[in-house]
Structure 1
Amino acid sequence: MTEILAEASPTRSVSKAGATDNAAAQGARGRPPRPAWLLAIVLTGQFMALLDVFIVNVAAPTIRTELHASGAGMQLIVAGYTIAYAVLLITGARLGARHGHRRLFLLGVALFTLASLSCGLAADTGQLIAFRFVQGAGSAMMLPQVLSLIQRTYTGSSRTRALGAYSAVLASGAAAGMIVGGVLVSADLYGLSWRPVFLVNVPIGVLLVALGLRLMPRDRRQAGEGSRGLDLPGLLLLAAAVTLFTVPMVLGQDQGWPLWCWASFALSAVLAVVFGAYESRLARRGGAPLISPVVLRAPGMPRAVARIGLSMAVNGAFLLVLSLHLQSALGFSAQQTGLAFVPMAALFGVIGLNWQRLPARWHGALAPVGLVLAAAGYLGLGLLLRGGGDGGAALYVLTAACGAGVSMAFSPTLTRALATVDPEHAADASGLLATTSQIGMLTGIAVFGAVYLGGAGGAGAHMAAHSLWITCLALGGTAVAAVGTGLVRPRR
């Protein structure tokens, strides 16, 4: 960690000669920039961090039993990571632009790895909750840098392929978390029960830091970069607004949506308006707002934000609801539940990596077609399981269709939006879209989870199947509504 802190001086020269000298110095040390290695390192880090959003869902029943956790304690174990991650994402993006994306990425990996070790060794509920929050903070430092590093390292078709890999990993991480969590819990490695879902991150994180220090090109300041202030008032307003939104989203369902949840939502909305007004005023005065207006005005960016938010909302909700239904209503084991998502995760990745191989004239139609396909998958799955059965082989076909549809919507939307953003604004775009994805997922889980649990609550398999059908109808309707985001054309 000391070596990470020592690198990437903020006062490094921005001249062309200085950049050349730096590259030559790297070559003299035998460590020139290696774009292929950089992509492998940052995407592995991203995948590792995204797994932890969902991996604990599968392990939650075992954790609760062994640690004797209360309902509120269990919610914070599951949600603490997500709350810290969502609240600090924009901050992580801005710190990366100010102090170096490589430096912040490696610091984030190191913090995440230490927190994962601590989670795996936690002796009680309080310790596990605290370390989950630290894990989320590490992810918030790490993940915004991934997109910024890709934007800076790759150009042309290479950037398109790298962004395809980025979106495939980002979109499939949640499904993979369900799979890996189920396998690890069922395997009960060395009698450690749930602990390997955290400890598995430790050797991976150590390897990533070691490789990153050796193979990732050092941070180089570009002209005008880093001169933007940190905008502390904006950071505080945004963090408060996101916190007041995310906390009731993750805790409200289990507590029956008490009054404090609605008061928190209302105050979050007020602070969001205040944040928007403050940032607009700061930009008019020639200051440095938290998110550059250039990013917000980029062609297709507002539409991308809406579509990505809705896509992640239905995707996150579907993963949670189907997992609950398979385990609680149909009696699937953790491993069986995880394996049910294998086709979905596989198609996410395949489509995310290969959609750009299709003729360019088809690219604009991929998102709406994908959303319609996802809607059909949700409705088909709801009908299949409506009678209380497990669906047989058709279950896997329909989950694959859902994964393919969301990937067709998510990956091209993300890549096409980022193509309009210059590399110097990559940090802003990264923070904005990552936060949109996270808040969309949180909202979907809370809203659609409430729909399912409201009808399924301990009433037996038949009522649970009916509740799943209603939830799938709502998911399908939301996916179709997301198609409409492409029908609104921005003013030129």
Structure 2
Amino acid sequence: MTARRWSALPVLLAAVFVTTLDFFVVNLAVPSIRAGLRADDADVQLVIAGYGLAYAAGLIVSGRLGDLYGHRRVFALGLALFTLASAGCGMAYDAGVLVAARVAQGGAAALLAPQVLTLLGALYQGADRARAFGWYGAAVGLAGVSGQVAGGLLVAADPLGLGWRACFLVNVPAGVVALALIGRVLPRTGRVLPPTGRSLPRTGRSGSWRDLDLAGAALVAAGLAVVVLCLVEGREQGWPQWTWWGLAASAPILGAFVRRQRRLAAAGRVPLLDLAVFGESGFPSGLVAVALLFGTSAGLSFVLALYAQEGLGLTPLAAGAMCTALNAGFLAASLRPGPLGAPALVMGLVVLYGVVTWDLGPYAVGAALLVTGAGMGWLMSPLISSVLSGVRAELAGAAAGVLGTVQEAGGVLGGTLTGAAFFGALDGGWDAAARAGVAVLIVGASGVLVHSFRRARRGPASEAGSPAAARFHVKQERPADCP
């Protein structure tokens, strides 16, 4: 492993950190945004949800763009757009401009996410790969730990009189530095051929817009955006009728996308998403496990946000301190991923269920959360790495895009199902509601545990001999040769 490849890791992780941070950093700035821009409730909801909607809708398309134009090139474009969109958020003069900039931020984050996963898989193999994905998990955990805290501190500190705008402008210097380093430290991945074996038409060194299925991109983006919007707003608004109509409409939209991809493949053309990726070794079952893990994480955050203050009567500060145990456990464990992740996750949730049942108080809840967070930290990076390790090189971008989509959709669906169980049991009191929510989480975590046991029985595949490691080469070029 050359020093240059390791020097690429901080640039990739910086992108992971800032894009994850922006899911959370805006939450505590909402009152200041409302006052400063005279925003109404709908505007504020779109400021928060617009980022996630654009992110979820763009992941599959961006995975394909990486295959066409090179993952490093699309990474650089995404980082540049994210930096510009962050500046746009910070300089917004009314709520409409802020919403538009947030949507642009989410779309740029979607450009980045699949490229990071694909580049990590291409640059590092074996023990180095485990270390790299461990640091990836640590970056996600650190962003989760610091997200809302950072937002609150920036608003309170009011640097240079910027107020809430600092929550977005803080991304700009980080983005500029990372962009300046890309040409020096990030090697260019070799171009891969599509699974059909047909050479792509080339414009210079890259693919052509003719190779991008724009109609398919519109279908999948629209379908995913409708699903996420209906699930998020449906839970918030008590499931009005329009959310059910929206979910019903998303099925034929996504079905049309799948049919189009099959027709393109049958005609010898390159689809936006090659459905052959779902036949790769361990990929479908790994996706289910990833969805369950991210759904468990999102559902647990939802339960804690309500139970800590309403059930235990804690102040926001005390509730945040208690919940920090979850993120601290995650962050510490993610630096040393291990085989005990799934058992620790289930054990922590079972202990949490018992703590709530016997009303043992916030310190016991914090202890249970520490174990639960450690389980998530031990589990996340090896799970994501294993899902991608068996995928062929020519499907790497598609796999990363699908994986990111499943992470986002799993989180939204997990929060929705947990919320339904929580509120359904609320007539019995806050303890009963928390038990119902945690019970749903135990079921989800048990699914991850079953996947972990099955994979352990099969034996981990050797990454050095995996298709991705064998066929996805990295060109070590001088900075002057980089596009």
TM-score normalised over the length of structure 1? 0.80
Cα pair 1:382 1:468 within 8 Å, conserved: yes
TM-aligned CA deviation for residue 156 of structure 1: 2.6
Count of residues paired in the alignment: 443
8 Å Cα contact 1:50/1:174 also seen in 2 = yes
Structure 1 residue runs without a partner (length 5+): 1-31, 357-362
| Contact 1:291–1:428 (8 Å) recurs in 2 | yes
Matches within 5 A, 1:318-329: 318-326=300-308
Name which of 410, 421, 433 aligns with 1:467.
433
Q: What's the offset of the Cα at 1:301?
A: 0.9
Q: CA deviation at 1:89?
A: 0.8
C-alpha distance in 1 between matches for 2:118 and 2:6: 15
Q: Of the candidates 230, 242, 250, which is equivalent to residue 232 of structure 2?
A: 250
Question: Which residue identity is paired with 1:238?
Answer: V
> Would you say 1:372 and 2:346 are equivalent positions?
yes
Question: 1:146 aligns to what?
Answer: 116
Shift of 1:240: 1.9
1:156 aligns with 2:138: no
* 1:476 corresponding residue in structure 2: 442
CA contact (8 A) 2:299 2:419 kept: yes
User: More deviation in 436-445 or 229-238?
Assistant: 229-238
Aligned AA (1:44): A
Distance in 1, matches of 2:315 and 2:154, equals: 15
Alignment correspondent of 2:465: none
2:315 maps to what in 1?
Answer: 332
- The answer to whether the 8 Å contact 1:179/1:337 transfers is no
Evaluate the alpha carbon distance shift between residue 283 and residue 293 of structure 1 in structure 2; reply closer, same or farther with a 3 A threshold.
same
**Partner in structure 1 of residue 380 of structure 2:** 410
Q: Report how far residue 47 of structure 1 moved.
A: 1.2
What corresponds to 2:270 in structure 1?
Answer: 288
What does 1:158-307 align with in structure 2 at a 5 Å threshold? 158-170=128-140, 173-189=143-159, 192-222=162-192, 227=200, 229-307=211-289
Q: 1:60 to 1:168 in 2, by over 3 A?
A: same
1:332 partner amino acid: T
Tell me if the contact between 2:329 and 2:372 (Cα under 8 Å) persists in the aligned partners: no
Deviations along 1:220-259, one digit per CA (max 9) or x if unpaired, are 4345698283233332221121012011122222332111
Does the C-alpha gap of structure 1 residues 178 and 449 become closer, same or farther in structure 2, counting only changes over 3 Å?
Answer: farther
CA distance in 1, matches of 2:7, 2:271: 33
Deviation for aligned residue 1:339? 4.2
Matching residue within 121, 129, 138 for 2:91: 121
Change (3 A) 1:90 1:224: closer
The more displaced of 402-411 and 223-232 is: 223-232
Q: Return the letter of the residue paired with 2:294.
A: M
Task: Determine the C-alpha separation between the residues in 2 that align with 1:383 and 1:187.
Answer: 40
Conserved? CA contact 1:307–1:482, under 8 Å: yes
CA distance 1:86–1:381, change in 2 (3 Å): farther
Please report how far the alpha carbon of residue 137 of structure 1 lies from its aligned counterpart in structure 2 after TM superposition.
1.0
Match of 2:335, SS state, is helix
Q: In the alignment, is the contact (CA less than 8 A) between 2:20 and 2:140 conserved in 1?
A: yes
- State the partner residue of 2:41: 71
Match of 2:400 among 404, 420, 430: 430
State the Cα distance separating 1:463 from its structure 2 match: 4.4
- Which residue identity does 1:146 align to in structure 2? V
Q: Shift in Å at residue 50 of structure 1?
A: 0.8
1:98 and 2:82 aligned: no
Q: State the one-letter code of the partner of 2:186.
A: M
CA drift of 1:158 comes to 1.6
* Distance in 1 of aligned mates of 2:418 and 2:321: 23
- Determine if contact 2:261/2:275 at 8 Å carries over to the other structure: no
- Gaps spanning 5+ residues in structure 2: where? 201-206, 456-483
Q: What letter is aligned with 1:434?
A: G
For 1:148, give the aligned amino acid.
Answer: T
Partner of 2:470: none
Aligned 8 A contact 1:241 1:269 in 2? yes
Structure 1 residues 156 and 475, CA gap change in structure 2 (3 angstroms)? closer
State the distance in 1 between where 2:350 and 2:446 align. Answer: 9
Is residue 194–residue 270 contact of structure 2 (8 Å, CA) maintained in 1?
Answer: no
User: Counterparts of 1:10-29 in structure 2 under 5 Å?
Assistant: none
| 1:132 partnered with 2:97 | no
When the two chains are superposed, the root-mean-square deviation of aligned CA atoms in Å is 3.2
Structure 2 distance, partners of 1:217, 1:484, is 38
Write the letter of the residue equivalent to 2:349: A
CA distance in 1, matches of 2:85, 2:37: 18
Equivalent of 1:60 in 21, 25, 30: 30
Work out the CA distance in 1 between the residues paired with 2:434 and 2:257: 38
Residue 112 of structure 1: CA displacement? 1.2
Segment drifting more, 447-456 vs 152-161 = 447-456
**Counterpart AA for 1:478:** G
From the superposition, tell whether residues 118 and 42 of structure 1 become closer, same or farther in structure 2 (CA, over 3 Å): same
1:86-139 C-alpha deviation (Å, 9 max, x unpaired): 000111111121112112112211211222222223333222211110110110
- Contact kept, 8 Å, 2:345 with 2:374, in 1: the verdict is no
1:182–1:373: structure 2 CA closer, same or farther, 3 Å change rule?
farther
Q: Secondary structure at the match of 1:150?
A: helix
- Contact persistence 1:451–1:467 (CA under 8 A): yes
- Rounded Cα–Cα distance in structure 2 between residues aligned with 1:323 and 1:37: 38
Give the whole-Å Cα distance in 1 for the aligned partners of 2:16 and 2:181. Answer: 15
Distance, in Å, in 2 between the alignment partners of 1:440 and 1:89 is: 14
The answer to which of 114-123 and 98-107 deviates more is: 114-123
Q: Displacement, 1:314?
A: 1.6
Aligned-pair identity in percent equals 35
TM-score of the pair, normalised by structure 2: 0.81
1:397-439 CA distances to partner (integer Å, 9 max, x unpaired)? 2222221222334332222222212333221111111110011
TM-superposed deviation, 1:442: 1.6
Q: Is the contact made by 1:378 and 1:475 (CA closer than 8 Å) also made in structure 2?
A: no
Shift of 1:157: 2.2
1:441-452 to 2 correspondence within 5 Å? 441-452=411-422
Measure how far apart 1:172 and its partner are.
5.7
Task: Check whether the contact 1:178–1:341 (CA below 8 A) recurs between aligned residues.
Answer: no
